[in-house]
Amino acid sequence: MDLQALFLSLQLATLTVIILIPLGVLVAHFFPMKNTLGSFAKEAVITLPLVLPPTVLGYYLLVGFGGNSWFGHWFEMMTGQTLVFSFLGILIASLIFNIPFALMPIQRAFEAIPQDLKDASSTCGLPPWQRLFKIEIPLSNKGILSAAVMTFTHTLGEFGVVLMMGGNIPGQTRTLSISIYDSVQSLDMQGAGVMSMFLLVFSFVALIFTQRLSLSARDFQGNLR
Amino acid sequence: MTLSVALKHTNGIHLEIEFECKSGELLALVGPSGSGKTSTLRAIAGLMPIEQGKIYLLDQEKNHIWLDTQNHIHIPSFERQVGMVFQNYALFPHLTALQNIALALPKGDSIEIAQQLMEDMGLIDFHDRLPDQLSGGQRQRVALARAFARKPQVLLLDEPFSAVDHPTRKTLYEELIKLRENISIPIVIVTHDLREARLLSDRLCILDQGKSLQIGHPEHIVSSPRNGRVAELVGLTDIFSATFLKAQHPDQILQKQATLLWGQGVEAFPLTIFDKGRLPDQTEVKWVIAKEFVEISKKPFERINTLSAKVLQVRRLGEISSVDFEVELAFGPTMHFELSTRLVNELNIDIDDQVFLYLDPKGIHIMPVYSSPAHKEVEKKKRDKPLKIVAVILVAGEGSRLGNLPKSLIKIDGQTILERQLNALQELEIEDIVLVTGFYQEAYKELNLPSNVLHAHNEQASIGQGSSVRLALKTVYEKLEEVDAIIMLLGDLPQVNAADLRQLIEQFKIRSKGEVVMPLVSSQRGNPVIISEKVLKEIVSSEKLTVRGWMDQYPNEVEVWQTENQHFTFDFDTKENIETFVKKTGSKVELPSKP
């Protein structure tokens, strides 16, 4: 078992969750789903990483953040290091790749809050920020938690986009799933087996957990209406 | 403090609302679903953007402006001091009853105020319960306490009693009535239940299609609704149609009397009423009568406004009995009464008995027929569209039941039915006329028909009317161009006049569906019908179809026009028929000589 890779994966997953979940909450609060073209476009952008092949996403990230791009160039000038083939690079890739997993459950949970409750918070004198913290977040906590679990699990398992953006640098960009690939390449089937089993069990447990959450979320809606 | 509201909104939800509500007053917004009640409430609370409007809170010390679109003032909802109770209470499910109330407290108020409010509402032992652990009535009290916790300047209640059972509702009514004694802010309540509104409110505002139709004291609105729609909305039964006629006779003018022509045509019954000078002559109106102004007796009254009626139904419900009468007029209107059972026993009435009703002119309330401005606009557009209309007159029949004679040549007061019909068409400027003859062709040839009348002769008239109809339409199709509609006029309708035909054409113009408009006089099919050019084409291009056949085949395409006008059904079919006609109208009828 490549412990360094496991640790790197956990680090990457934790950071992704910490950054993406609050972002998801803000998006859900400030851009609620409406029946407008802009809203549909937003939904499409959010869902896009889900349907695109990781290689396509990886390609565009390389083009967009590589040393030849203006952003990559500027970043290198400012910090003296490249985005590509660095931990920061795979973090950015991971953030983008996980947008649907983080945002969609939160979005759905916010939508499930009846309009009446939002209205009631206004007539109770709560400004939008207080409404977010006192009403919307507590009422969508299950959706938020489920988004966090999904994002975390998905980051542990992501492969293609990380490989394209980060390559395979031990301690820097070699995550657990890349380590599995590496082990198989070097015919270390036992090592690959242990790590695969770990990811399999972890993902399975995480899915049981989110299923349980989504079921109780349905109950909660049913009770309200 | 007075809440003053004026709203105008057209996008999506249509609103045109104006009202005021004073401190301590309870104003009920009443109307059917979709009438804009809840939207109005939401607009006051600031939960709905409004295109044009003003919401002011006028106070002796300080005026608050919540909304003034002209001056671009829009105070957000959370800064308006409103207490709102939502239809399903909208309690926050993750907070306890006490927390729900405490959430609405203004900054700096201590939790004890929330506890006190709960105590006032009789909710002492429920502090730590979550909303779904409370009963409907308890939830309602928590919602009300939460509304008060905000220290509101206006209290808004959106159908607050619709989600609780009947006994609880009664207790809650009493509580609200008590509560009102202690607070003096404007209260606006939305309800669709008129009884509830009458019980609780000081004033009613009747809404329909986003418009406030009438505002006033509940009893006043019920006794004198401004128009037919209001009468319907406040649940008045026995609303009748009539024509208002201003007095012609000097005596009548002096006594400020007018005539209400109940029903249409020869069967109409003239009622005497008082003229308040608000309506012009010949206005189409709806009328109601407050039932305390009706006298009932088994002997006829020697007075005006006396009608004979038949008892349809007597239902004894304890102290009160419900009695239905059918007034003996041709269109058979029914009147419903709630009488004391004692009176019913004294009158000794039972089903099928004949009684006499005296309608006191003082109790008759008339109102113009209401239609919304948007609706009026659409109808006007449709009406203004010029149509090329052709009339087909069918005189091919044998008139066998009258003893074989051309029925359309029967003379009424010296003029044949055909002449009368041609005159009516001329009055309407319908120039294109097709006359289809069959039997008695010679008799029609002798007439000096105007040159614009196209004459078609059906050799096979004996097969039946269908063949004449097809011939007529074929003639229209072949000889006339750009026809929009065709009136199918039977040659033996003695009473149909220009006004009737004009109404029929109007109905055709404003029809919402279908290609045929047919008058229906108390469930009897009337004549003439008017058909569109599309039906004409379909009938002409088919083998056998007739107008009746087409109507039977496509019942969804037929728009029925409900009317009480007997002209559309009355024809000279038998000798008795003619006799009654003579008796009723006093006209002179001459049969043509047999050919």
Q: What is the pLDDT of residues B285-312, one digit of tens each?
A: 888 888 888 999 988 888 889 999 999 9
Write the DSSP assignment of B544-587 as a string of letters. Answer: S--HHHHHHH-GGGEEEEEE--GGGT----SHHHHHHHHHHH--
What pLDDT score was predicted for residue B172? Answer: 84
Task: For chain B, 595 residues long, give each residue's pLDDT as a single digit of tens.
Answer: 899 999 999 988 899 999 999 998 999 999 888 889 999 999 999 999 999 999 999 888 788 899 999 999 999 999 999 999 998 889 999 999 999 999 999 988 888 888 988 888 888 888 889 998 888 888 988 999 999 999 999 999 999 888 788 888 888 888 888 888 878 899 999 998 888 888 889 999 999 988 999 999 988 888 788 888 888 888 777 888 888 888 877 777 788 888 888 887 667 788 999 888 777 777 778 888 888 889 999 888 888 899 999 999 999 888 889 999 999 888 888 999 888 999 999 989 889 999 999 999 988 888 877 665 666 666 667 666 778 889 999 888 877 777 788 888 888 888 888 888 888 888 888 888 998 888 887 777 777 788 888 888 888 877 777 888 888 888 888 888 888 899 998 888 888 888 888 888 888 887 777 889 888 887 788 888 999 888 888 888 888 888 888 888 888 888 888 877 888 888 888 888 888 888 877 788 888 877 6
Question: Two tokens at A208?
Answer: 């049981």
Please tell me chain A's helix, strand, coil percentages from 3-state DSSP, rounded to the nearest 5.
Answer: 80, 0, 20
DSSP A112-164: TS-HHHHHHHHHTT--HHHHIIIIIHHHTHHHHHHHHHHHHHHHHH--HHHHH
Helix (H, G, I), strand (E, B) or coil at A20: helix
CA distance B18 to chain A (A): 22
**Contact A223/B106, CB-based, under 8 Å?**
no
A161, amino acid identity: V
B chain contacts of residue A140, beta-carbon cutoff 8 Å: none
Q: Distance between CA A123 and CA B84 in Å, rounded?
A: 7
State both tokens at B74.
Answer: 């829009």
Residue A91 phi/psi, 5° resolution? -65, -45
**pLDDT of B372:** 57
Contact at CB, B103 and A127, closer than 8 angstroms: no
B280 inside 8 A of chain A by CB: no
B517 three-state secondary structure: strand
Residue showing tokens 């007739």: B546
pLDDT of residue A216: 62
Distance from CA of A149 to the nearest CA of B (A): 22
Inform me whether the C-beta atom of residue A35 falls under 8 Å from chain B C-beta atoms: no
What is the structure's pLDDT at B371? 60
Min CA distance, A117 vs chain B (Å)? 5
Instruction: Give phi and psi for B354, each to the nearest 5.
Output: -95, 135
| Helix segments in B47-193, DSSP class H | 97-103, 111-120, 136-149, 166-182
Where residue A117 falls among pLDDT bands split at 50, 70, 90?
A: very high
* Token pair 């009300």 in the structure block, residue: B144
A123 with B47: Cβ contact below 8 A: yes
Angle between helices A3-30 and A141-157 (to 10 degrees): 140
Q: Which two tokens stand for residue B461?
A: 């008239």
pLDDT at site A225: 30
What does each C-alpha distance from B559 to A119, B496, B510, B516, B563 come to in angstroms?
45, 20, 10, 6, 13
Q: Number of CB pairs < 8 Å for A and B?
A: 67
Cα separation, B55 vs B67, in Å, equals: 5
Whether B506 and B499 have beta carbons less than 8 Å apart is answered as no
Is the Cα torsion angle B59, B64, B70, B76 positive or negative in sign?
negative
DSSP E strands, B173-319: 187-191, 203-208, 211-216, 240-245, 257-262, 269-274, 283-289, 294-297, 306-317
Q: What's the confidence (pLDDT) of residue A19?
A: 96
* DSSP symbol at B128: T
SS3 B313: strand
ipTM above 0.95, yes or no: no
**Which of B41, B94, B188 should we substitute to test contact with A (largest number of A Cβ atoms within 10 Å)?**
B94
- C-alpha closest to that of B407 among B449, B448, B444, B455: B444
Quickly tell me which residue has 């106070």 as its tokens. B59
Q: Is A139 helix (H, G, I), strand (E, B) or coil?
A: helix
Residue B265 pLDDT: 65
Q: Are B87 and B81 in contact (CB under 8 A)?
A: no
Here the tokens at position B73 are 């003032």
Contact check, Cβ <8 Å, A123/B82: yes
d(CA A195, CA A208): 20
Does the distance separating the beta carbons of B150 and A139 come in below 8 Å?
Answer: no
By C-alpha distance, the chain A residue nearest B103 is A124
- Residue B376, pLDDT score: 63
Q: Which two tokens stand for residue B362?
A: 């003082």
A125:B106 CB<8 A: yes
Asked whether the beta carbons of B449 and B471 are under 8 A apart, the reply is no
Optimal mutation site among A124, A129, A133, A216, interface B, most CBs of chain B within 10 A: A124
- Taking the CA of residue B270 and the nearest CA in chain A, the distance in Å comes to 54
B290: enclosing H helix or E strand: none
Q: What is the signed CA dihedral for B212, B46, B202, B165, rounded to 10 degrees?
A: 100
- Residue B270 sits at φ, ψ, to 5 deg, of -85, 125
- Answer whether B87 touches A (CB < 8 Å): yes
Print burial letters for B262-289: b (CB count within 10 Å at least 16), e (below 16): bbbbebbbebbbebeeebeeebebbbbb
Phi and psi of B273, rounded to 5°? -135, 175
Q: For the residues of B367-422, what is the DSSP string, one character each?
A: EEPP--HHHHHHHHHHHHS---EEEEEEE----GGGTS--GGG-EETTEEHHHHHH
CB–CB of A116 and B76 under 8 A? no
B155 in contact with A at a CB cutoff of 8 Å? no
Q: Distance of alpha carbon B173 from its chain centroid, rounded?
A: 32
Q: What pLDDT does residue B541 have?
A: 86
Residue of chain B minimizing CA distance to A124: B104
Do β-strands B154-158 and B15-22 pair in parallel, antiparallel, or remain unpaired?
unpaired
Of the candidates A120, A126, A138, which has its C-beta nearest B94's C-beta?
A: A138
Task: Write the CB contacts of B72 (distance below 8 Å, at least 6 apart in sequence).
Answer: none
B264 Cβ contact list (under 8 Å, min separation 6): B243, B563, B564, B565, B566
Side chain identity, residue B311 = V
Instruction: Note whether A206 and A148 are within 8 A (CB).
Output: no
DSSP state of B202: S
The reported pLDDT for the residue numbered A215 is 67
CATH dotted code for A3-224: 1.10.3720.10
Q: Do B426 and B435 meet the contact criterion of CB atoms below 8 Å apart? A: no
Cβ pair A120:B78 closer than 8 A: no
Q: Which residue of A has its CA nearest to B88?
A: A116
Q: Looking at the complex, does the CB of residue B503 fall below 8 Å from at least one CB of chain A?
A: no
Does the model's pTM come out above 0.90?
no
Interface check B76 vs A, CB under 8 A:
yes
Determine the distance in angstroms separating the CA of A205 from the nearest CA of chain B, rounded to an integer: 27
Report chain B residues whose CB lies below 8 A from the CB of A139.
92-94
Yes or no, beta carbons of B47 and A122 under 8 Å apart: yes
How many other CB atoms are there within 10 angstroms of residue B470's CB atom? 21
